[in-house]
C-alpha cells in the first residue's frame, strides 16, 4: 500500500510553526506503571506550560484506547501497534509546532526507542515516572490491580506482563518519596530551556 504513496512537502515547515508560536515543539513521553502518576503529572505540566503561553496538547492512554486504538487489545503485538500509532500522531503534532504530552505505560524499551526514531531524537523527552509496584497497587485508582490479582485482567503490566524500565531516561521522577509539586518542577526545569 505505501509503495503507491508519495510524500508531499508543503511550504510551511515545523520551523515556521515554531517561529509563529515563539517556542520549539517537543514530545514529552511519560512512561511508568499504571497508577504511577503519569497522567496526573502530564496534566499539571501542561497546565503550567499553558499558563506560560506554550501551545500544548495531551495524549492519554485511556482516551486513545476509546477512540483511534479501540480495535487493539493488550496483547504484546497490539501494545506495540498502540504505541506506534500514538507516536505517529505525536509526530504530526510536534510537526504542527505543539508541545505534545503523552502519558502511556509503554512497557517495552524497543517501542520507546521506535517512538524516538519516529519523532526524532531531538524532539523526544522520555520522562520515567518511577513508582514502585507496591505503591501503584496501594493507590489502584482504577481498580485494575485488584482485578489482575483476581485473574480478571490478562496482560496487566507489572503483574502478568513485563515492564521494561528506561535505562537512561531524560527525567526520572520517583513519586514514592517525592511530592507532586517537586515532581512537576523537576520536569519543568528540564524542559523549559529546550523550548527556547
Q: What are the Cα distances from residue 14, in Å, to 21, 36, 84, 171, 194?
A: 11, 33, 21, 25, 16
d(CA 128, CA 36): 10
Q: Is 158 annotated for ligand binding?
A: no
The annotation status of 53 as a binding-site residue, yes or no, is no
Size of the chain, expressed as the number of residues it contains: 196
Do the annotations mark residue 28 as ligand-binding?
A: no
- The answer on whether 160 is annotated among ligand-binding residues is no
Q: Is 106 a catalytic residue?
A: yes
Task: Tell me whether residue 110 is annotated as binding.
Answer: no
Report in angstroms the alpha-carbon separations of 179 from 81, 135, 166, 185: 34, 14, 21, 10
**Which residue in the block uniquely carries the three cell numbers 509526530?**
91
Q: Report the run of H or E that residue 143 belongs to, with start and end.
A: none
Q: Per the annotation, does 38 bind a ligand?
A: yes
**From 106, 132, 160, 183, active-site residue:** 106
User: Is 36 annotated for ligand binding?
Assistant: yes
- Residue 2, annotated as binding a ligand: no
Q: What are phi and psi of 33, to 5 degrees?
A: -65, 160
Active site residue ranges: 106
Q: Which residue ranges make up the annotated binding site for ATP?
A: 32-39
Residue numbering of the annotated binding site: 32-39
Amino acid at each position: 500500500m505505501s509503495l503507491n504513496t508519495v510524500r508531499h512537502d508543503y511550504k510551511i515547515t515545523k520551523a515556521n510553526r515554531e517561529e509563529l508560536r515563539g517556542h520549539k515543539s517537543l514530545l514529552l513521553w511519560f512512561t511508568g506503571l499504571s497508577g504511577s502518576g503519569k497522567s496526573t503529572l502530564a496534566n499539571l505540566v501542561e497546565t503550567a506550560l499553558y499558563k506560560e503561553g506554550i501551545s500544548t496538547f495531551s495524549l492519554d492512554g485511556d482516551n486513545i484506547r476509546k477512540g483511534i486504538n479501540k480495535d487493539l487489545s493488550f496483547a504484546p503485538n497490539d501494545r506495540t501497534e498502540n504505541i506506534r500509532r500514538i507516536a505517529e500522531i505525536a509526530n504530526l503534532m510536534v510537526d504542527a509546532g505543539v508541545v505534545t504530552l503523552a502519558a502511556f505505560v509503554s512497557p517495552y524499551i524497543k517501542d520507546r526507542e521506535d517512538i524516538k526514531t519516529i519523532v526524532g531524537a531531538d524532539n523526544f523527552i522520555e520522562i520515567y515516572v518511577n513508582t514502585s509496584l507496591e505503591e501503584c497497587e496501594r493507590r489502584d485508582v482504577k481498580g485494575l490491580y485488584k482485578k489482575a490479582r483476581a485473574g480478571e485482567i490478562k496482560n496487566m503490566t507489572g503483574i502478568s506482563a513485563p515492564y521494561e524500565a528506561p535505562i537512561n531516561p531524560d527525567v526520572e521522577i520517583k513519586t514514592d518519596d517525592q511530592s507532586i509539586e517537586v515532581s512537576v518542577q523537576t520536569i519543568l526545569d528540564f524542559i523549559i530551556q529546550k523550548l527556547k
